[in-house]
Structure formats: structure tokens, C-alpha cells
Amino acid sequence: MSAPQLTDPAALARNRARARRAPELFLHELVADEVQDRLIEVNRAFTDVAVVTAFPQVWQDRLPGARMLAEGEVLDLAPGSQDLVIHALSLHWANDPVGQIIQCARALRPDGLFLGALFGGQTLAELRAVLAEAEAAVSGGLSPRVLPMGEIRDLGALLQRAGFALPVADSLTQRVSYRDALHLMRDLRAMGEGNALAGRLRRFTGRGVLAQAAALYAAHYPEADGRIRATFELVFLTGWKPHESQQKPLRPGSAAHRLAEALNVDEGVLPQRD
């Protein structure tokens, strides 16, 4: 028996295809800029690069020669074929995110680098709250409308489960100003981030719910200029395919000097700070 799916892949594909007609890619551009900055800090040349993305136009000029891979439960990655794999703003929709990261790990050569970017748990917290309140007030019930996204601690643990060395998870919070809630929702559709949940309602949301949500949004999350704010939490996952040259933690009890000697204090006495 297969596990229940959170995401409807067919609906996600439709949302992505609709967005490609006139995409709004400022968050994808932000992620690509951030990834480029991180690669500069690594200070290493990568020759076989693959990028998993729904919008390859964001990456083609930044990483000439990189393979652009479509989203999907099975990625077109051969074992040991890459020295850099970037998974760009798709993991949050994966029904099996661990499986996605494991596929990337298998595709890397030893000492290869994985960089993943996805939306974290604080993303669209405002929209999630007002939609729930509005729907409860208007219809007396709740339905899945905004994708539940992982917290950074849980997302970082995925790297360890996939067997990466030196795993790091960090986040960047981007707050965006919108004219109103309906403008935000239109932007989400243009990003390909519309509702693709498997358990979503299969009918259009009533005008009453949308009007109430817009009013609640303006009341609870206003900006100084009469606009509203929306939060996007971008989580970045970094891990290396294990290799003998990488730094390793010391075994417990293997220290050559006592901590008290390094701090120049008596054993058992901690230094004081004002």
C-alpha cells in the first residue's frame, strides 16, 4: 500500500506550466544570487553541474553548461555523474524530500557538493492565518489551502538522513510588500506556487472567503503605506558527499590539552563575564 501523498503532482505540473507563460521569478532570482555567493565562498571550480528547477531560465546564464533537470519524483541523475547538484525551490513540494536528497547524493562524486533551497515553515504565515480565520467565519470549516512547510531543524536533519558530511541548514527571511491580499495571491500563481495539495477543495474559493481574508489581512498585517506584508522564509541546505580529505570531529577523550590550561584558570573554576 502506497503512502498518502501531500502534493498532487498533476496539479503542481499545471500550476508550473501556467506560471511559465508570464512568470514572476524574483524569489528564484534571489535564491540564484544567494547560491552564487555561496559558491564563490567555496572557492572551487565545479565542472559537472546539475540544477533541479521549474524555471531553468534563472540559472542558464549564471551557470553556463549546467544540466537543467525537471522536477519529478525520479530525477534524471546518473550515479557519480556530478560534482555539484543544486535543488532550487522545488523540495517543499516533494512527496518524498528525503528520497529527492538521496538521489542528489548518489549523483555526486566523493567530495561533491549539494545545495538545496526551499521555502521554510514561516513562509506565508500571514496568508495561512487569515485564510483559516476567514473560511471558518464564512463557511464554518477549514480546508487545505497553503502548503505546510518544514522547520529549519527538521529540514537540516534530512541532510544527515541522506548521508551527507558537514551538513548545514540556514535561512534567509524575505518580507515583501503587496498592494493587497489578492495581489499576493496573483503573484503566487505567477510563481507556480498555487495550491497543489492533494487534499485541496476541488472547487473555486467563494468570493465571501476571499473578501473576508483580504479584509483580515489588511487589518492584521498592514505596512505603513497602507499596503500589506508577506513573509517568505528561504531555507538553504548544504552538504558534501563524504570523502577522506574532509574535516572530521575528534573522538571523545582524544584531546591533547586540558580546557583549563587553554583558558589559564584553575580546574573547576570558570572565568567570569560582566
pLDDT at position 1 is 43
pLDDT at position 270 is 40
The correct CATH number of 9-244 out of 3.40.720.10, 3.40.710.10, 3.40.50.150, 3.40.800.10 is 3.40.50.150
What is the sign of the dihedral through the CA atoms of 51, 57, 59 and 63? positive
pLDDT at position 269 is 45
Q: What is the pLDDT along the chain (274 residues), one digit of tens a residue?
A: 456 789 999 999 999 999 999 999 999 999 999 999 999 999 899 999 999 999 999 999 999 999 999 999 999 999 999 999 999 999 999 999 999 999 999 999 999 999 999 999 999 999 999 999 999 988 777 778 888 899 999 999 999 999 999 999 999 999 999 999 999 999 999 999 999 999 888 777 788 899 999 999 999 999 988 999 999 999 999 999 998 877 765 555 555 555 456 555 554 544 444 4
State which amino acid sits at residue 176. Answer: V
CA distance 235 to 254: 35
Q: Which residues contact 184 (CB under 8 A, 6 or more apart)?
A: 127, 178, 217, 228, 230
pLDDT at position 271 is 43
pLDDT at position 250 is 53
pLDDT at position 128 is 94
Query: Residue 179 carries which DSSP code?
Result: S
pLDDT at position 211 is 94
Q: How far is CA 155 from the centre of its chain?
A: 9
CA distance 169 to 10: 30
Which candidate, 37, 231, 27, 6, places its Cα nearest to that of 115?
37
